[in-house]
Amino acid sequence: MDSHGQNEQRVEWAVVDSGIGPLLLATTGQGLVSVVFHATDEVRDRALERLGSRFGTEPVEVPRSPLLAEAIRQVAAYFAGERHDFELPLDWSLISGFNREVLRELASGVPYGAVVGYGDLARRVGQPGAAQAVGMAMGANPLPVVVPCHRVVERDGGIGGFGGGVETKRKLLALEGVLPEPLF
């Protein structure tokens, strides 16, 4: 344990290219813990600082570590259209309570190529009036793409918001065949 009573854990990371720009992937001994969109140097450095603070250790760039290498392989296969489901251990320690419950339901209950409304997802976790809270949970998702918050849309058919930007959400939904590919 460190001086704050937290268990120190090794955090390993890599930045990979994807169909939506560079992604930062980070793992702990428990599993994939973080996926960060638009991982330019500045965004990457801020994300690594947050992870280091949270876990009490300096994150280490180790793209060839077994778990991180497998996450990289599966993400590449997803963006190549060769993988529809991720089979990775996930470290849920960056999220808790209602948000974790909603994201777990999303990960297990909304398959590739499908979408769900915010209110529908709220009902699935036994909180039928919590559509806005579901939206907040999507915004707090530490594992986007792998835990597919891009599959949550507005009841009236609108695309809804997205932490990685609406254009990124459109690209992910087009990749999964939910939306047509943009013409230009």
Q: Which residues are catalytic?
A: 149
Instruction: Yes or no: say if 13 and 24 are a contact pair by the CB < 8 Å rule.
Output: yes
Helix, strand or coil, per DSSP, at residue 117? strand
Compute the distance between CA of residue 17 and CA of residue 108 in angstroms, rounded to an integer: 26
Calpha distance 162→175 (Å, rounded): 16
Four-residue CA torsion sign, 77, 78, 82, 88: positive
Coil, strand or helix at 64 = coil
β-partners of residue 21 are 19
Q: Are 125 and 161 in contact (CB under 8 A)?
A: no
